[in-house]
Structure 1
């Protein structure tokens, strides 16, 4: 028993015209021929329909919107189970770096060198201590700058994700950083 609920006779006039056009452009499989009953001899596409098809074919494809220069790729956050294991000490923090009291230039150079060495050693999780920077009413220059650095081309091949640390590791003044595997970097 056929599962079709309708037949070609139930098609509207527009649908029959469209089906005829599609059926005429179909290429049969090798060794097969297109059955004559596939083409409806009662329907002949009008010149207007041909004009619409030709206009659609001649129209340039829609262009994808360009990414803005301001769009910056940010590393993903560390997944919740991994963050919890780091916070509870079940997953070791294999190295740490303290950026307290440094200028942005000093901190950037030290952090980049530290992450390169850690990555070369195959380390996966490190602790980066930025400090909260709440003295003299400031909001913490390094606390804001370090996550922004992770989105730059020099850090992107190294950093797979980051998340603020648990309170006993420094809370909002420290970051858990997951480094990419060496195979991830070589395939890019």
Structure 2
């Protein structure tokens, strides 16, 4: 497959677009972009140098690797029944044994999946604003062989980028009932 050669105006537009972009990871340190000016002799490059009628050249783009300080820190949501890092023994024991007081409860029985998600999202935002520490989300067992659709979707909702940082621990409310989850939320800072 033949590579397309960029004109000087396209190369200038590309340089302006990527001037402050740093790659997440690199395989190479230097990438070259071929440039063929598409205008006449009087046209000039963005740097103010004459482009020359038939001149071709290479624009070298130096890729800079990001330091660990610049990379955003993402906290994954804990899995159900798995102790998350940063959760002390006492809190984990109280949460997993059902001894922690529930500040609020959301019952998703009777909702379709989209409505249930919207209710769950509003509930989690309200939990953050109110400063609640432990909340319970009831999905019900569902009637399907693998459980209900809301029950299957809830773990995916917990791993969303706007929800996961709020959650410190997740357990089933009762060992015999897999249709309800207790969420230990991080303290508001």
When Rg is computed on C-alpha atoms for both structures, the one with the higher figure is 1
Structure 1: which 4+ aligned runs deviate by more than 4 Å?
78-81
Instruction: Please name the residue that 2:161 is paired with.
Output: 153
Instruction: Please name the residue that 1:111 is paired with.
Output: 120
Secondary structure, aligned partner of 1:93: coil
Determine the C-alpha separation between the residues in 1 that align with 2:138 and 2:168: 18
Conservation of the 8 A alpha-carbon contact between 1:74 and 1:150: no
How many residues matched? 114
1:159–1:109: structure 2 CA closer, same or farther, 3 Å change rule? same
Determine the C-alpha separation between the residues in 2 that align with 1:94 and 1:153: 23
- Could you say which structure has the higher helix fraction? 1
With normalisation by structure 1, the TM-score equals 0.51
Instruction: Please name the residue that 1:95 is paired with.
Output: 104
Instruction: Please name the residue that 1:173 is paired with.
Output: 179
1:138–1:101: structure 2 CA closer, same or farther, 3 Å change rule? farther
Structure 1, gaps ≥5 residues long: 1-58, 64-71, 184-188
- Could you say which structure has the higher strand fraction? 2
Aligned positions of 1:4-153 closer than 5 A = 74-76=76-78, 77-78=82-83, 81-86=90-95, 88=97, 90-133=99-142, 135-153=143-161
1:104–1:181: structure 2 CA closer, same or farther, 3 Å change rule? same
Determine the C-alpha separation between the residues in 1 that align with 2:144 and 2:153: 18
1:74–1:103: structure 2 CA closer, same or farther, 3 Å change rule? farther
Superposed CA offset, 1:47-96 (max 9, x none)? xxxxxxxxxxxx97xx9xxxxxxxx9641244675354246553201110
The alpha-carbon deviation at position 145 of structure 1 amounts to 0.6
1:160–1:83: structure 2 CA closer, same or farther, 3 Å change rule? closer
The alpha-carbon deviation at position 152 of structure 1 amounts to 1.0
